[in-house]
Amino acid sequence: MISQRTLRVTIESWPLAQPFVIARGAKTEARVVTVTLAQGGVEGRGECVPYARYGETPEATAAAIESAGAPQSHGDLLRVLPPGAARNALDCALFDLEAKLAGVPVSVLLRRPEPGARETCFTLSLGSPEAMADAARGVPNLHLLKLKLGGAGDDVRMRAVRAARPDARLVGDANEAWTVDLLDPLLQVAAECGFETIEQPLPANADGALGTRDRPVPVCADESAHVASDITALVDRYDAVNIKLDKAGGLTEALAMADAARAAGLDIMAGSMVSTSLGIAPQMLVAQYARWVDLDGPLLLAEDRVPGIVIRDGIIEPPDRALWG
């Protein structure tokens, strides 16, 4: 007789080491929803970060998870929950439970490459050019930096960080804060400063302008891409796509997005919200297909889970199976 599968949902707050600032505002803690699925004395866990940009709150997400109940399959999840944070936590918890019950890693279950170590971005919060340059100089051991940008003044910010860290690889994330008028001059500055990509410069509902001009720096879709079916529409206006578990609704859809992006000739960024190590552990399977990896959330926390992901000098290691997978 198969033992009953049970579900537990909790909302947790993880203070940040310092305020995290993007174009939409600042945060001082990561509020996450954690799911535990248990069966036969074995537990699988998943974590999600509800995102206000998409109308999500921790309370509503927890309620949606509880209403969905303990899933029996990943197909069940696709039928009962839309893409988003709630489905992500359940999908990842189910993979963790299945792997532990089977005694093999998730990569084996999925017939995907075993995750290896990758270099992750380290994010510099949006601030004055001087503050961002100081932050860049403060992490001389980290060589892949991601600048949060905010529109007017980003030319000075990019040049200040490049002057402070001529050795670093740089990517930028505008979080939809640029206008069409700012687009061409700021992309030119990004090219002059050697940026490898700029994420989501224009609002998702106004990004058609990207398809009408030359892009001297590759442009990466974030808010414009949630699931695999979004990929086709990106090809004429973007060069890459940021795949996040919380947008896609879990590892199942995130891997489908990676397959679709590769087929379409788009580069991949494996990204995440600000979360604990549990939130980024499943994303290491997507990271194996990525040109850029942006999974530095645990580095931004005052304290992480134990055991947590090991990130040393910007190199992120695959998760210990005691954490996930």
pLDDT value for 3: 73
The domain boundary residue, chosen from 90, 110, 130: 110
| Tens digit of each residue's pLDDT (9 = 90 or more) over 179-229 | 999 999 999 999 999 999 999 999 999 999 999 989 999 999 999 999 999
pLDDT value for 24: 81
Task: Give the domain CATH number at 164.
Answer: 3.20.20.120
Instruction: Based on the fold, state whether residues 85 and 101 are members of the same structural domain.
Output: yes
d(CA 255, CA 224): 17
Instruction: Based on the fold, state whether residues 63 and 150 are members of the same structural domain.
Output: no
Within-domain flag for 156 = yes
d(CA 45, CA 34): 7
Count of structural domains within the chain = 2
Instruction: Based on the fold, state whether residues 102 and 128 are members of the same structural domain.
Output: no
Q: 231: pLDDT confidence band, cut at 50, 70 and 90?
A: very high
Instruction: Based on the fold, state whether residues 153 and 104 are members of the same structural domain.
Output: no
Q: Are 91 and 252 in contact (CB under 8 A)?
A: yes
Within-domain flag for 324 = no
Q: Given the structure tokens 């890459």, which residue do they identify?
A: 240
| Tens digit of each residue's pLDDT (9 = 90 or more) over 17-34 | 998 888 888 899 999 999
Q: Average pLDDT, stretch 128-143?
A: 97
Within-domain flag for 321 = no
* 3-7, 138-142, 272-276: the lowest-pLDDT one: 3-7
Query: What predicted TM-score, i.e. pTM, was given to this entire model?
Result: 0.95
For residue 2, pLDDT over 80 is answered with no
Q: 148: pLDDT confidence band, cut at 50, 70 and 90?
A: very high
Instruction: Based on the fold, state whether residues 67 and 129 are members of the same structural domain.
Output: no
Q: Which residues participate in catalysis according to the annotation? A: 148, 244
Average pLDDT, rounded, for the chain: 96
The domain boundary residue, chosen from 86, 110, 134: 110
d(CA 221, CA 257): 12
Q: 1: pLDDT confidence band, cut at 50, 70 and 90?
A: very low
Question: What are residue 241's phi and psi, to 5 degrees?
Answer: -140, 135
Q: 54: pLDDT confidence band, cut at 50, 70 and 90?
A: very high
Task: Give the domain CATH number at 17.
Answer: 3.30.390.10
Q: Which two tokens stand for residue 109?
A: 């279950």
* Neighbour-count burial of 204, counting CB atoms closer than 10 A to its CB (0-12 exposed, 13-18 middle, 19+ buried): middle
Provide the CB-side half-sphere exposure for 225 (13 A, CA). 35
Instruction: Based on the fold, state whether residues 85 and 161 are members of the same structural domain.
Output: no
Beta bridge partners, 278, equal none
Domain interval for residue 312? 118-316
Instruction: Based on the fold, state whether residues 42 and 123 are members of the same structural domain.
Output: no
Instruction: Based on the fold, state whether residues 101 and 197 are members of the same structural domain.
Output: no
For residue 67, pLDDT over 70 is answered with yes
Within-domain flag for 325 = no
| Tens digit of each residue's pLDDT (9 = 90 or more) over 234-257 | 999 999 999 999 999 999 999 999
Q: Average pLDDT, stretch 273-302?
A: 97
